[in-house]
Amino acid sequence: MSAPASSLRELAMEQAQGAMALQLAFIGVANGLFRALADVPRSPEDLAAATGMDPDYVRRWVDAAYAFGYLEESGPGLALTERGQGFATEDPASPLPFAIHTMLGAHMSERTAHFMRTGERPGEEVLGERETIADLFGTMLEGMFGPFFEGQILPDLPVYREIDREAGLAVDLGCGNGWYLRRLAHQYPHLRGVGLDLFDAAIAEARSQAEAEGTADRLDFRKGDMHWFTVDEPIDLIAMNRALHHVWDEKDRVFAFLRDHLKPGGAAVIWEPNWPGDRPALADPKRRGMAFQNLMEHVQGNRFLQAEEIAAEFEKVGMAPDIHLYGEGNEAVVVGRKA
C-alpha cells in the first residue's frame, strides 16, 4: 500500500529542512563565522567586524543560525551550541565536510538538470563555477575520506610499510591539499612524498599544512599531473585517490604511464568507489550517495568503475593486480605491482 500524500509531503519537508540546515552551515563555514564564535560569544556587529563580512548579511545569518540550533543567546551576544561547535572544527567527527558536499551537490544538480536537456557533458570545469565551493574542495575531501583512509586502508596495506623501510618515494597524482601524503608521512617516518596538482591554491595549502604538521622536510608539493610530470627520481609508489574515473577515457595511456614511471617492484595504488554489479544494490542506503554522485559525474564526462575493470587494465600492461575492498565493498583499492 502506498504512503498517503500527506506523509510524503511531511517527509519532503523534513528533508528540505535538513538541506537548509547544511546550506546555512556552509555559509558559516565559508566565511569563518563558526570559527570566530568558537571561543567567545559575539554580537552580530562584533561577528561581522571579526570576519570582515557585511553586517546586514551577518545579522540575518545569526537569526537563521539561531533558528536552526547552531547559536544560543549568551549575555549580550550569541555563542555556539554543541551542534554549532561541530562546524568550528576540522575534527574527524565534524559534520563540516557534509555542509560543503551538500552545496556542491546542489550546484551539480542544477547543472545536471540543464545539461540533461542538451546532452552536453562540459567536463570538470563545472566544479569551479562556484568560487566559495571550489575554495573548500580540499577541506571537504580530507574531512570525508581522510579518517576512513587512516582508520581502514592505511593500516591494512603492506605496501606502505615496505616503502617506509626503504625510505622510498610515494607520488600522489592530483594531491589536492595533500591530505593523503600528510597522513602517510605522519604514520611512516621514513617515507618521502611528492604531491602533484594543477591548482596553485591546493599546492599552497598542502605546503602550509605539511609545514604546520612537521612533515615538510619529507613532503614536496608541486604543480603537475601525468601530462606534466615533474619527478625525476625512481618512484616506489604512485597513488591516485578517487581520480582514475576522471581520466578513464585515457586509460591506455594512464596505465602505461604508471608502469613506466615505477621502479621494478614498485606499486600503483588506485582508490576508487566500487560500482556494484547490479542495480538493486544501489537501493542500499550506504550506496545511495554513490548512485547520486555517479549522475553528477556524467556532467564531467566520467562514470564510476568496478574494481575488476581496474584490475584488468593493470593486467594489460603486465602488472599484477590485487583487489582490496573496504566499507562493505563500497570502496576498492587496487594495487598493481610492476614486475
Cα gap 152→112, rounded to integer Å: 33
In 3D, which of 169, 165, 214, 162 has the Cα closest to residue 194?
169
C-alpha cell, 50: 571579526
With a cut of 80, say whether residue 57 has pLDDT above it: yes
89-122: pLDDT as tens digits: 878 889 999 999 999 999 999 999 999 999 999 9
pLDDT above 90 coverage of the chain, percent? 89
The mean of the pLDDT values for the chain is 95
Cα gap 182→329, rounded to integer Å: 26
Please give the distance of CA 335 from its chain centroid, rounded to a whole number: 21
Q: Which domains does the chain have, with CATH numbers?
A: 5-85 (1.10.10.10), 138-143+158-278+303-337 (3.40.50.150)
Residue 328, classified by CB atoms within 10 Å of its CB into exposed (0-12), middle (13-18) or buried (19+), is exposed
With a cut of 80, say whether residue 3 has pLDDT above it: no
Most distant CA pair in the chain, distance = 69
Cα gap 69→86, rounded to integer Å: 12
Q: According to the model, what pLDDT value does residue 230 have? A: 84
With a cut of 50, say whether residue 290 has pLDDT above it: yes
If DSSP states are collapsed to H, E and C, what string results for 90-127?
CCCCCCHHHHHHHHHHHHHHHHHHHHCCCCCCCCHHHH
C-alpha cell, 66: 539561531
180-228: pLDDT as tens digits: 999 999 999 999 999 999 888 899 999 999 999 999 999 999 999 888 8
Q: According to the model, what pLDDT value does residue 334 have? A: 98
DSSP one-letter code for 244: G
Contacts of 230 (CB under 8 A, 6+ apart): 196, 222, 223, 224
Q: Is the dihedral of CA 307, 93, 29, 285 positive or negative?
A: positive
Please give the distance of CA 269 from its chain centroid, rounded to a whole number: 17
Instruction: Tell me what the mean pLDDT of segment 280-298 comes to.
Output: 96
Q: Which residues pair with 58 in a beta bridge?
A: none
Classify strands 169-173 and 219-223 as parallel, antiparallel or unpaired. unpaired
